Structure 1
């Protein structure tokens, strides 16, 4: 094995003042309430000025009796008790193609993890060397191409950005060393001296250098087999001692080895199936993002089979496609994210890194907002609020995806704590499952899974389902419901997570968004089989659809476009979905949720106001546009993502990333938001009995309702 090398810490000059850019994201006390008596507004109305309210309560993650017992662990053997053994603490690994992909597409989640005190490791697959010119466009003619130098400048910018987010000083010292990889090459490992749980790993593989261009010497070409090895691109100043090259297998082995080293409970990664533009066939996202994510998927599938590791959850992030969509972040969060990009891009021009290559990415300094990316963060799948089901006797069932398998929890009606997780057989599941209760009391779970295959051409994603054998019984084997896609090449297997309606006779209708950005559906027949896929239409729909059934048994499906929300509805209970029908709603931030309307007429839709985090709701009966929506100003909570709950409890992701809950619906009482101090994945699930969320530790956190 090659000798391990250590490089002394690089010297740095300290700035006279540091800007703590994460303060707006994780500041101490928040104030704000949901107004129970909020008035209805026309779609064009603006929220009024913020009011002054009592402070929000902030509770630790252990509050409200969130006990959890890890029961059966599937193939991993013995169950685990909280706080003991693997999986008892949060460890986040995030893997991206280029330096800055994490800052543009994963923040503010990144800064929230940095401030949590838990281990966080950022892994960069490529060197990001581009054309080797680190300059603003008008200075380009003055700068000679230097790929090693530009790669170093981007590293310096990332180190400055992470140091500033974590410590408040962009010049906080990093210790840098070379480590051998499991693929037979080398990587640079950087550790933040002031907070050594924060690490950065640079694999320094050659990048494609073009979003869609034909570049065989790239992760794309290596994945497809157009080349057998892909070379490294070492940055100047790196402690890595020599050049190297990887085969496809060696890249997978390298990433798998890093997962073994850092033992994550949660992995952030880019979207492996972002789709293509139908007319041109070009990728909607950068080819390095897409194929880098597929290498990560393959490594995760291998890592998940290894014994003894903590259960791991996964979140995919949308990249370039966010450009055309409404902004999700409120002004304070967007400004903090932009400030981090300004640090990365070396916008201040202060030469405080002592590197001839430069202290940041000057290409980004021309437009540090990207294409609106600093005002947005979006998850690709994983936004369903329908992952908890309730028995008639009050028992509860919860579902998530850990280790690429369906994880189930159970809380009997008379129990205080939950039992689980039990991991069901069958791997490859993507994050973002949904569940429904059938009329006979059985539960059905639906999701998508990725088939990696032996060859690149075998890659595909498909819909799968599993159903209990009897109410409260075991789940049967997974059944494939296929995909509406012709093949992976035409649309990169770009299908959303599914939404499901159930007719009074138990027949299910499955709906998802396809790579043409339309809705497609399969209906279950009376004999239990499934009919063919059919198109439901729609134009430029995005995100995951949501489904709900009203008190009369009629099913509804909603999905967003960049400018409004479209609806499909059954004209009679169990009849075919018809639409799209205009709802008359303004733009939303995509992550919708729906449930039966309290008055029994139609369904109530919950969503967020763009660029604010404020909550909105509207009722829809399927025979007319929605009623004027009700706006519930979220001052002091903000955040992004789905709104779960209804008239009794509401649960959302706050600006801090913490779970925020509030009672809602009691006339004359203004409910107070309560922040619980743990970071969670996906969306919360709120019911009349309590709120559930899956922490980044893979644990189920439960907050019982106060009555």
Structure 2
């Protein structure tokens, strides 16, 4: 999935979204910190194509976007809102195609603004980025072409603490950044930084009232951090080939950014540093059993502010490790749920 598939809902329950064949499944805690329910299909019986996306608003609601087949050789995007993990998500609603019709053009990304409106981004047939957003009064605005050239399939959408939506994309020229200049406005291409980027490694996080930070792996294999207006900083060698999950949390009384990534030998690797202080340095610490190729890793905070790490294999096996009640990032033993 594109986006953080492991989230805490408005009611404090942790939940995960699991692509499974032509469906998207959800599993959630029965109550915060409690046992987990069996997987349930999201959005009704429509058949979906691979590569769904998830975004979460400040209200805790999850917004889900996916391609679905329409007629032979063509696809369209659909959207669903999941208000609380223990309730059924809304049925999938069509939101169209960036070029009006055609086949799948790339993996979508979704961010949710301060008013709870979803903004859906996807590469278009021209190699740029298109966007469609929910109206404040219901329904959807027309598709908008945000420009760009040679954009790769993977996009990273994020909402800043200001409530304004931003988008990062990788292209042959480097990393492109779009941002809303004011709430509700169309995002504009704000900056391009010329750096080599490994495909499929973008992850963005709100890190201060005025900034978001993009994490990516560069051409030499370093995990880097970039905030528009500054220069990219190499944090440490990437632990593995995929994207890093990132969450802000309190460790030892300090505002920290915690990164998690499946390492090259299959274990879960963690690194933490004071938020936006990349010069402090970071290093990986591995945890848990070895995971098969294709497994995904994520981190979140539970209702009590404890870090919870999750791993999900391609066959749907979910494992969790929760932070112990002691200083630092000490995790209890991993368990299958």
Give TM class, smaller chain. 0.7 to 0.9
Query: Quick one: which of 56, 65, 70 aligns to 1:446?
Result: 65
Which residue in the other structure is 2:73 paired with? 459
- Matched ranges for 1:169-568 at <5 A: 382=1, 384-424=2-42, 425-451=44-70, 453=71, 458-468=72-82, 472-488=86-102, 493-568=103-178
- Runs of 4+ in structure 1 deviating by more than 4 angstroms, as ranges, are 469-472, 666-671
Whether the 8 Å contact between 2:239 and 2:284 is mirrored in structure 1 is: no
The whole-number CA distance in structure 2 between the counterparts of 1:690 and 1:545 is 25
Q: What runs of 5+ residues in structure 1 fail to find an aligned partner? A: 1-381
Determine the C-alpha separation between the residues in 2 that align with 1:696 and 1:651. 18
* Contact 2:57–2:116 under 8 Å retained in 1: yes
For residues 703 and 680 of structure 1, the distance between their equivalents in structure 2, rounded to whole angstroms, comes to 20
> For the structure 1 residues 705 and 497, does the alpha-carbon distance in structure 2 shift closer, same or farther, using more than 3 Å as the test?
farther
Measured in 2, the distance between the counterparts of 1:703 and 1:450 equals 37
The 3-state SS of whatever aligns with 1:677 is: coil
Larger RCO, structure (CA 8 Å, separation 6 or more): 1
CA separation in 1, counterparts of 2:219 and 2:289?
24
Establish whether residue 601 from structure 1 lines up as the match of residue 210 from structure 2. yes
Question: 1:661 aligns to what?
Answer: 269
1:630 aligns with 2:257: no
Distance in 1 of aligned mates of 2:31 and 2:123 = 36
Measured in 1, the distance between the counterparts of 2:107 and 2:318 equals 21
**How far apart, CA to CA, are the structure 2 residues paired with 1:430 and 1:481?**
15
| Residues 486 and 554 of structure 1: CA distance in aligned 2, closer, same or farther (over 3 Å) | closer
For normalisation by structure 1, the TM-score amounts to 0.41
Partner in structure 2 of residue 300 of structure 1: none
Secondary structure of residue in 2 paired with 1:542:
coil
**TM-score normalised to the size of structure 2?**
0.81
Which residue is 1:619 aligned to?
227
> Aligned equivalents of 2:233 and 2:146: distance in 1?
29
Q: Please provide the CA RMSD for this pair.
A: 2.5
Residues 461, 701 of structure 1: alpha-carbon distance in 2 compared, 3 angstrom cutoff: farther
Deviation, structure 1 residue 405: 0.9
Deviations 1:25-52 (A, max 9, x none): xxxxxxxxxxxxxxxxxxxxxxxxxxxx
Q: Could you tell me whether the CA contact under 8 Å between 2:267 and 2:286 is conserved in 1?
A: no
2:323 counterpart residue number: 705
Alpha-carbon shift at residue 396 of structure 1 (Å): 1.0
- Superposed CA deviations along residues 2-45 of structure 1, whole A, max 9, x for unmatched, are xxxxxxxxxxxxxxxxxxxxxxxxxxxxxxxxxxxxxxxxxxxx
Q: Secondary structure at the match of 1:419?
A: coil
**Structure 2, unpaired ranges of 5+:** 248-255, 275-279, 302-306, 330-337
1:677 aligns with 2:290: yes
Kindly tell me the number of residue pairs found equivalent between the two proteins. Answer: 305
Instruction: Tell me if 1:694 matches 2:308.
Output: no
Higher strand share: 2
Query: Would you say the 8 A contact 1:449–1:461 is kept in 2?
Result: yes
User: CA separation of 1:466/1:659 partners in 2, compared to 1, >3 Å: closer, same or farther?
Assistant: farther
Assess if the C-alpha contact under 8 Å between 1:680 and 1:693 holds in 2: no
Structure 2 CA distance, aligned partners of 1:642 and 1:385? 10
Give the aligned partner of residue 265 of structure 1: none
Find the residue that maps to 2:153 and give its secondary structure: strand
